Amino acid sequence: MGMVETIVLLFFLTLLISFLGSLSGVGGGILYVPLLLLVVGDYYGIDQIKFISTFLVFTSALFNVLLEAYKKNINYWIILLAIIFATPAIFLGQYLNTVFNALIIKIIIIVFLGIVTLLLLLSEYVFKQKTYSKKPPQNKFWIVPLNKNDQTQINLLIIPVVAFCSGIITALTGMGGGPVIMPALILLCYLNMKQATPISHTIIMVSSFVSLMLNYQTFTNQTITLNYLLPLSVAAIGSTTLAFVLKKHFHKEIYIKWLLIILIWASIIKMIVDIV
């Protein structure tokens, strides 16, 4: 497959992945990394592939946060906590990258994706009925309203743990941490997908931005920047905006979850076959 055909293929796949990632709140990283490994893995190393994935995840997350902020669905305390706790986690993840070789990181990605699918199923069929909205209001200072439009209470003490895990995952895998953030918010904060999505995008945005800044040298690679980052970011922005506009019409969260699970397992199987 030639360069032009590859870019066109990735462009349309990015449209689909960004759309699903924006609707589900996981950011698309769970599919970007295995997709890029399959399509351009013979031409670029794992670090470059993770960088491209992180950039696309950041682009989608940034526009999601901007759109949610316009609708006043963002809690700025969460942004502050994400910055404080995700930043050192990124440095830890960068160090771990120097310890593990490419094969180990691929195995980590496969195991991680398998755990994610289990968490998504648990959040739907086991823990879905738990919610803070059913509890009486608490006056503790770390229990705050979700945002100005939703008075559902959220425990801010959970956010640092989620942000720290997100930072490590972003640095190690390039997936943005969304696959852990969404299940954690649903399971630990008792939120539904609609409530958890803005928080997830906020933490993903911070984690991926810090990771990009620590690997800024890759921006000087003109082949990656011109052939992949620019055209694919256009696809990510367009698809993110479309998903934001249309998501109010999606009432069956389980359909989105099952589509993600199927795509994840298809990627897992292909990656295992390639390793073997």
Q: What is the mean pLDDT of residues 57-67?
A: 89
Of the two residues 105 and 230, the one the predictor is more confident about is 230
Of the two residues 187 and 87, the one the predictor is more confident about is 87
Give 28's pLDDT tier (boundaries 50, 70, 90): confident
User: For the ranges 46-55, 103-112, 132-141, 192-201, which has the lowest average pLDDT?
Assistant: 132-141
> Which residues does 218 contact at the CB level (< 8 Å), separation at least 6?
47, 48, 51, 224
> Which residues does 87 contact at the CB level (< 8 Å), separation at least 6?
167, 210
SS3 for 153? strand
Q: What is the mean pLDDT of residues 143-156?
A: 72
pTM: 0.77
Contact between 173 and 94 (Cβ < 8 Å): no
What residue numbers bound the domain in which 244 lies? 3-275
Cα separation, 276 vs 274, whole angstroms: 6
With 60 as the cut, is the pLDDT of residue 132 above it?
no
> Which residues does 22 contact at the CB level (< 8 Å), separation at least 6?
28, 60, 64, 201, 239, 240, 243, 244, 247
With 50 as the cut, is the pLDDT of residue 125 above it?
yes
Name the domain count of the chain.
Answer: 1
Give 235's pLDDT tier (boundaries 50, 70, 90): very high
Q: Which amino acid is at 115?
A: I
Q: What is the pLDDT at residue 50?
A: 85
